[in-house]
Amino acid sequence: MKKIYLFLVMLGVLATGCEDELTIFPEDSLSVPTFYQTQVDFEQAINGTYVPLRTIYNQSKAYLGEMHSDNTYYARNTAFGATEQQEDVADFAIPTDNGITTNNHVTNIYVEHYKIIARANQILVTIDEAEFDEAEKNNIKGQALFLRAFSYFDLVQFFGSVPMHLVPVLSREDAALPLSSPDEIYAQIIGDVQTAITLLPPKSQQQAGRVTSGAARTLLANMYIVRQQWAEAETQLRAVVNSNEYELMPNYEDAFSGNSDNKNNMESVFEVQYKEGAEGLNGSFLYNFLPRPITAEEVGAITQTSNPQPLNGEGNNIPTPDIIAAYEDGDLRKDASIQYVTLSESFWRDGTYPIIKKYVEPHSLHGNHGMNFPVYRYSEVLLFLAEALEEQGKSGEALPFLNQVRARAGLGDPVGDLGEAIFRERRVELAFENKRWLDLVRTGRAVDVITAYGNRIKSNPNDYYYPEGAEPRSNAFTNISLTFGLPASESSLNPNF
Amino acid sequence: MTKILFGLKTLYFGFALLLTFTAHAQSTTVSGTVTSADDGFGLPGVNVIVKGTTNGTVTDFDGKYSLNVQDANATLVFSYIGFTTQEIPVNGQSVINATMTEDATALEEVVLVGYGTQIKRQVTGSVQTIDAQELADIPVSQVTQKIQGRLAGVQINQTTGKPGQGMSVRIRGQLSVSGGSDPLYVIDGFPISGGINAINPDEIEDITILKDAASTSLYGSRAANGVVLITTKTGKAGETNVSFNTSTGIQYVPERGRIDMMDAVEFAQFKKEYYEDQGDPVPEIFQDPSQYEGKTNDWYDALLRTAPMQNYNLTITSNKDKLKTSVVAGVFLQDGVVLNSDYERYSLRVNLDYAISDKVRVGFNVAPNHIIDNVPRTDGSRGTGILFNALHTWPIMPIYNEDGTRTTFNRFPADTGNIFSYANWLTSAEQIKNETKEVNILSNAFIEYKPIEGLSIKSSINAEFYNSKYEFFSPSTATYRINVPIPTTAEAIWEDENDFSYLNENLVTYTKNFGDHDFSLLGGFTYQKFRRDFSRVAADTFADDRLPTIQGAANINRGGTYDRVQEWSLVSFLSRLTYNYKGKYLLTAAIRRDGSSRFGADNRWGNFPSVSAGWIMSDETFMENQEAISMLKLRASYGVTGNNNIGNYTQYALIDNTVNAVFDNEFAPGSAVSSLSNSNLGWETTKQFDVGLDLSLFNDRVAFVYDFYTKNTTNLLYNVQVPRESGFTNFSDNIGEIKFWGHEFAVNTVNTTGKFKWTTNANISFNRNEVVALAEGIDRVYGPGGWHITKVGEPFGQFYGHLSDGVYLNQEDLDNSPQVPGRSTVGSIKLIDVNGDGVITRGGDDDDRAIMGNPFPDFTYGITNNIKYGNWDFSIVGTGSQGNELLVRHLYSTTNLDGVFNLLSDVKYRFRSEENPGRGFYGTTVGGGNVTGIERDWINDRFVADASYFNIRNITLGYTLDGVDRFFKSARIYASVQNAYIFTKYWGGPNPEISVQNDGNGDGGNLASGVDISGYPVPRIFSLGLNFNF
């Protein structure tokens, strides 16, 4: 019987070790309980927070920000169907029911921005407990605050009221929040960016491509401008100008990133970072912005890759006659921004279309390029400052900043009303940089400008790349709304909208 | 079936005699033959001893014995397991023959139950056992193939004919949304981590299926899908047996059931009419269809072949003195009926059991095997499976050039409507390597200590090793895809998997009898741990097809190259109390407590209790006069079991460390949380109630078993969608409920005895299920292809699509019927306006789709007849399934009216004009994809086919040879046919049991079962076998 007793004791000993034996974390991937501990963890986490920007700027942001305006349109390919997602955006015809839409691009923007927000929240909620170098910690925290605010700023401008998550979601119950009003959101993100400015280093001390105190001030100024808080905007913008961290590139065309060079140049305040190659860090937006059908040779002439492929479907983000006409005579930016290609298989006229030249850079392989996409350039800081001053009645102070931008474009003093001149200048200086639609909205011009633009397309479709005999769809320009509907896929899961 | 005699002592007595056998003095010799009263044949292995002495012997194979007897007045005692012991005085005779009669009362069959054995009479759960001896002649590689149709409540389907693969086993219809549905397999007490495909069936002594919760609950969180206990061979008491079994067979795919496709003439005629109906000029190659007379290229048939198979097994068992051993060595070689497919298995098992003393016993089992199988990418949808590709390749495309060499690539000019080009599928099958090499090692060691009467303490260590190497190589000269010109880019995948599972089990059993009260108490503690290391490399662009090495690849495909580690651990406490009063009032209570690494930190332990009771009514005095009833037992059980197939790390919020960024044009590693954690995540719970009846009539000539069960599975693992504002897409949670119920009947009859001995075994099962609830606010889940719906209030995974009503016969019909806006025309398919909104739409929950079929059978059944007459033996096994349907998914290509692919022969009876409406079944070809696309892409009820079948699964005729005892103890020769004939109306392909998801990998999961995309056909097999016993 002693042996039995011994056996039972053995059992007891085995049993006490259970809980340890039953805790197995995955070995091939990290999990939350073991992550967010060290400096390296947080460096990786902040890097991951930038990543959705690549998706946003590769396609959908350009469609919602630029093609959803009078600057660009699609090049109708009558031989191809299933293009309504893009056409609905460009045609101001996004089916929206009770503030809800199923449009892919609208959904993409929404979903990708909330990825950034969730990743930033995870950092912000855990970083204070980790122990590592304070300067590094502040830098990461500043970037997280910037990126979260940047995303909410896009969301609030595109959608108006949206759910505001400020801590990581941990359960199914926390996943759906009620909508927060634009005022609530601005109050939060203006505060966040103000904090970020104090935490972030200036550009000269930051790794190229990461956000800086200058970028944060520009973002904050942009928020103030949308809120028409001109004096507050002026303060931030003057701080950027006086920081001596930025200068205009001497030539306008050099302001834009090359495939692997000229990235984050002295004019760049913030740009979305891409890298060509097999690592999956590349962009392909140039290809989204080409008219179609286009042969391999014609693609190759533009991209200079070793393996050009023909492209079918429908081309998007094609410059309109309106933007082409918006350049003043002698504006050097016109030829730096737009070029022409001729498509032998096109059904439209002789097949000679304008395309966006800013992003045409030679690269190695088809569909894989490394150009960065500009978000804020120093020239916009100057134009913002001119605008903020002009709006405060300080026209005299505003003009030199505007002229700094115009001079590089080979232009002299503007004519007419200074406010209008600044607005026109923004259109051409920042053409195809996803500014136009939001500028129209914040200045209260959207409905008038787009209605007139829609009428031009409907009366002269052939001028807007419709082949002979093709007509705009019957629903074109029937939904000129200042905000996009919220995604239907979200609405079905969130009881609050 | 294990049989023991309660008077085992006589056996040991016998052994003792053998030891002293040589020590006898001068004496007379008595000899004779011991026969069985049942069939008159000699009975081998009977103990013959001189009463009151240790002097004795054992009869030989023919029942003959010879014994020296010193006292002419002695008495001989003849004893044998299961027979009445006889005493015969010698009385000076020198020849004494004995006839042994079977003894029903002394014999108590015991059956294996979880963590022990029980007397069969006293079992209170639903348990069924098959003796592997009955299965020996069936010429297949997997044991699950052999038991098809033999068990009530167990549905076994051969979903593909790939050698060594494709068996789906469902006990009592159990299924789940995303957890696995395979039963737990326990080999010699060791719950293994995977299936039993790899095991040589010749190693198996018997198979026991545990079905209800009372019999499975001791397996706790792994028991909800049922448990299959496998016992491997051990030596029979007192004997040494050496046997050699071999069989050789020929396999081929019968013509019956093959898909009836157009021949070259029919196809050219179709194409000709296609252009004519369209009003377009007919391309030259279709202008004269008769030119293709006798020139059909049957690509599908060309991929098939008649293939050989061979099986060799050597078995040695011995049970002498204190040592029991068995050794089974096997070689199984099978070529597949599709070109370049084959399967080889080399296996060995050594079992040792040694009694160190009266109280201590130790045992060791080790069973290594090695499997090599190669099957080209046969199964898969268009462009991924070679058989499907071949099926729809134009029959006018040549397999061979004029000079007899193979074509490399077929593409006709664009104006013939040939938009897809095809490689030569024969070359693809032959050149694409798709090979897996496996090594499995199963091993156990135990020590058992019996310190006092009735108490046993047993501790075991079990280990399972698995290593596999997978190699896929598609050279530049071949492809399994369509539209890929040859030469193409060579591709390769290498996978390497190493699994190790370790189990320590400690059990204490105490059995005690107090008068009429019998108690047995079991207590145990077990610890099991599993680890899998997996790595995969995918590469393409090889410098030379002859060197498919990693270093030979110009490009490593990063997306397909990764490492994985999977681990789990399980700590369990278990206990069972068995009690009976007077052997007729039976009660069993059991509980297992499982702690699993898979369960969330706040829900780490689960309790799985069960209770069952039985009443042997026939033992009551009021039943004594019921002569016809030899045994009547009523049973009832209730219990809780779990399904822990919820993924090893589902509970954790994982970090995706491939979310990489760029700064300064340099790679910057990045990470992000990729899933939500759920610290409450747990097992799926199944609560099952079972009532059963065991009835034996006419002195056990008829044995009948009936069971009714009902069970509810709750806490189903389900990925609930969450709003993406959270940064995530879904949350794994335990949610929803499915209800199952069913009836099972099994009957065994001994129809005749004596020289002509005929037994029948039949069973029938009715299994039903219904989805009671899904996640909050969700009433349906669609299958991966959108052709299935799992909806609250309906059975699981129903076929879902449009209901058709012929075609629009004329303009009036079209005008007066709901249409697909902008697409319906005269002659196009007419669908039913299910939602009554006047138009036909597809998309969303409220469109015009409806449930259109059910993959589950109304009932499944099996019947086995065994006949013995003299030296002849004959058996026939039939299995069937009634009321199940299949979704003939390949119709989206094989009835594509645009003439892009070859078509079902029946498409020639399509609508061509109002005057020539065909059979009102297939629509007009006019109008292109805008019109014809509805018929093929909007899956409709024409895709659903009745797949009820009755398969004469096996017929075997054997003959035991006489006069061979100079060479062998016995020898037998037999001939066998597997899949002799299938009675079915199923027209979608040769295999009505098929179930393949659109990706061709596996059975598609429960959300999308019953899909036929023309997978590997199941062959008919003729085989010839020989058994020798030495």
Q: How many residues does this entry show for chain A?
A: 497
pLDDT digits (tens, 9 = 90+) for A41-73: 999 999 999 999 999 999 999 999 999 999 999
Total domains, chain B: 2
In contact, B219 and B227? CB cutoff 8 Å: yes
Domain CATH code at residue B153: 2.170.130.10
- pLDDT at residue B319, rounded to an integer: 82
B120 lies in some domain: yes
B151 lies in some domain: yes
Token pair of B696, please?
């034996």
Determine the straight-line distance between the first and last CA of chain B, rounded to whole angstroms: 23
Question: In terms of domains, do B26 and B120 share one?
Answer: no
In contact, A275 and A50? CB cutoff 8 Å: no
Nearest to B184 by CA among B142, B220, B130, B148: B220
Question: In terms of domains, do B117 and B208 share one?
Answer: yes
The reply to whether residue A264 touches residue B565, judged by beta carbons under 8 angstroms, is no
Mutation choice for B interface testing from A44, A261, A372 by most B CBs within 10 A: A44
Q: Which chain A residues in 94-113 lie under 8 Å from chain B, judged by CB atoms? A: 110-111
User: Which amino acid belongs to residue B90?
Assistant: V
User: Which amino acid belongs to residue B593?
Assistant: R
B221 lies in some domain: yes
Closest residue on chain A to B728 (Cα): A115
* B510 CA: distance to closest CA in chain A (Å): 12
| H or E stretch covering B807 | strand B804-807
DSSP class of residue A204 equals: G
Question: In terms of domains, do B83 and B120 share one?
Answer: no
Judged by a CB distance cut-off of 8 A, whether residue A14 touches chain B is yes
- pLDDT at residue B822, rounded to an integer: 75
In chain B, residues with a C-beta closer than 8 Å to the C-beta of A370 are 665
B66 lies in some domain: yes
Question: In terms of domains, do B132 and B89 share one?
Answer: no
- A130-142 as b/e: b if 16+ CB within 10 A: eebeeeebbbbbb
| Domain stop point among B234, B251, B268 | B234
Closest residue on chain B to A13 (Cα): B525
What number is the ipTM of this complex?
A: 0.91
The reply to whether residue A47 touches residue B655, judged by beta carbons under 8 angstroms, is no
Q: Is pLDDT at A400 greater than 60 in this prediction?
A: yes
In chain A, residues with a C-beta closer than 8 Å to the C-beta of B661 are 47-48, 50-51, 273, 281
Closest residue on chain B to A166 (Cα): B726
Mutation choice for B interface testing from A9, A29, A264, A486 by most B CBs within 10 A: A29
In chain B, residues with a C-beta closer than 8 Å to the C-beta of A118 are 673, 726-728
- B75-94 as b/e: b if 16+ CB within 10 A: ebbbbbbebbebebebeeee
- pLDDT at residue B859, rounded to an integer: 94
In chain A, the percentage of residues whose pLDDT exceeds 90 is 79
Tell me the average pLDDT across A192-201: 97
Backbone angles phi, psi at B423, to 5 degrees: -75, 170
Q: 10 Å Cβ neighbour count for A353?
A: 22
- pLDDT at residue B609, rounded to an integer: 94
Question: In terms of domains, do B219 and B138 share one?
Answer: yes
Mutation choice for A interface testing from B673, B720, B930 by most A CBs within 10 A: B673
Q: Is pLDDT at A113 greater than 90 in this prediction?
A: yes
Question: In terms of domains, do B72 and B127 share one?
Answer: no
Q: 10 Å Cβ neighbour count for B824?
A: 24
Give the residue numbers spanning the domain of B69.
Answer: 2-100
Radius of gyration, alpha carbons of chain B: 32
Question: In terms of domains, do B20 and B46 share one?
Answer: yes
B36 lies in some domain: yes
Question: In terms of domains, do B94 and B122 share one?
Answer: no
Question: In terms of domains, do B172 and B228 share one?
Answer: yes
In contact, B365 and B459? CB cutoff 8 Å: no
DSSP structure string for B236-272:
PTT-EEEEEEEEEEEEE--STT---B--HHHHHHHHH
Mutation choice for A interface testing from B447, B505, B604, B724 by most A CBs within 10 A: B724
In chain A, residues with a C-beta closer than 8 Å to the C-beta of B509 are none
Confidence of residue A81 (pLDDT cuts 50, 70, 90): low
> How far is Cα B425 from Cα B478, in angstroms, rounded to an integer?
8
Domain CATH code at residue B91: 2.60.40.1120
The reply to whether residue A175 touches residue B654, judged by beta carbons under 8 angstroms, is no
The residue with greater pLDDT, B734 or A432, is: A432
Question: In terms of domains, do B116 and B79 share one?
Answer: no
* B462 CA: distance to closest CA in chain A (Å): 17
Facing residue for A14 by CB, picked from B527, B661, B671: B527
| Domain stop point among B188, B219, B234 | B234
Question: In terms of domains, do B66 and B162 share one?
Answer: no
The reply to whether residue A169 touches residue B728, judged by beta carbons under 8 angstroms, is yes
B239 lies in some domain: no
In contact, B402 and B335? CB cutoff 8 Å: no
Question: In terms of domains, do B75 and B120 share one?
Answer: no
Judged by a CB distance cut-off of 8 A, whether residue A365 touches chain B is no
The reply to whether residue A115 touches residue B721, judged by beta carbons under 8 angstroms, is no
In chain A, residues with a C-beta closer than 8 Å to the C-beta of B779 are none
- Count CB pairs under 8 A between chains A and B: 209
Radius of gyration, alpha carbons of chain A: 25
The ranges of chain B with pLDDT < 70 are 1-27, 38, 103-108, 237-238, 414, 963-965, 996-1004
pLDDT digits (tens, 9 = 90+) for A219-240: 999 999 999 999 999 999 999 9
| Domain stop point among B206, B234, B262 | B234
In contact, B1015 and B387? CB cutoff 8 Å: yes
B895 lies in some domain: no
- Cα A46 to its chain centre, rounded Å, is 18
Task: Point out which residues pair with B867 in neighbouring strands.
Answer: B758, B874
Can you list the positions of beta strands (E) in B22-119?
A: 28-36, 47-50, 56-58, 64-69, 75-79, 86-89, 98-100, 107-113, 116-119
Q: Which chain A residues in 289-348 lie under 8 Å from chain B, judged by CB atoms? A: none
The reply to whether residue B673 touches residue A119, judged by beta carbons under 8 angstroms, is yes
Confidence of residue A82 (pLDDT cuts 50, 70, 90): low
Facing residue for A177 by CB, picked from B604, B659, B725: B725
pLDDT digits (tens, 9 = 90+) for A244-262: 999 999 999 999 999 999 9
Confidence of residue A7 (pLDDT cuts 50, 70, 90): low
Domains, chain A, ranges and CATH?
36-271+372-485 (1.25.40.390)
- pLDDT at residue B651, rounded to an integer: 87
pTM for this entry: 0.81
Facing residue for B659 by CB, picked from A1, A48, A175: A48
Judged by a CB distance cut-off of 8 A, whether residue A209 touches chain B is yes
B269 lies in some domain: no
In chain B, residues with a C-beta closer than 8 Å to the C-beta of A19 are 595, 604
Q: At what angle do helices A230-242 and A378-391 cross, to 10 degrees?
A: 140
Facing residue for B725 by CB, picked from A10, A19, A114: A114
In contact, B397 and B422? CB cutoff 8 Å: yes
Mean pLDDT of chain A: 92
